[in-house]
Amino acid sequence: MTRTNTGGIWPWLGLAALLVVADQAIKVLILANYELGESTTITSFFNVVRVHNTGAAFSFLADAGGWQRWFFTAVGAAAAVFIVWMLRSNPGQKLFAFALACILGGAIGNVVDRLLHGYVVDWLDFHWDFLGGLFPGGHFPAFNIADMAITVGAMALILDEVLRVRRNR
């Protein structure tokens, strides 16, 4: 299937910007109202918490000594540049562009944190007893809106590829 440029890049950049603004606005509220490690119980399985993640997903390399801040910042910035280039090339392929915009917004949201604070502010804490064998106390690693945007974008990329393969059969 041919990829077209109908619609342009601006709606997708707008979606990415909206995700960055929402992510950063909530992180400002968390930083202003919670001390590190402080949490509020919302339900039996969800807390709002203030966590600082100096690593990547699941705190990968969090204890690496500090170099990872700049490494993950560079990776996020490079990913953002590549994604904008991909969006310019494929803005009319809606699901693909949606996926890229979500990943872009999430990447920028976390890069902003690394540049401003030296860590990513995470605040969504879900926990269930059945996760106890995988995570301490059954708490899934805390995350934020940027992380959700990246996850939704990755799932949309997978769906886009599955649909593309099915169309080409």
CB atoms within 10 A of CB 165: 9
Using alpha carbons, select from 144, 120, 154, 141 the residue that is nearest to residue 23.
144
Helices (H), ranges, the chain = 10-33, 67-89, 94-117, 145-167
Under 8 Å between Cβ of 51 and 143:
no
- The values of phi and psi at residue 162, to 5°, are -60, -45
d(CA 70, CA 147): 18
Which are the catalytic amino acids? Answer: 122, 147
Sequence-distant (≥ 6) Cβ neighbours of residue 153 within 8 angstroms? 98, 99, 100, 101, 102, 103, 104, 106
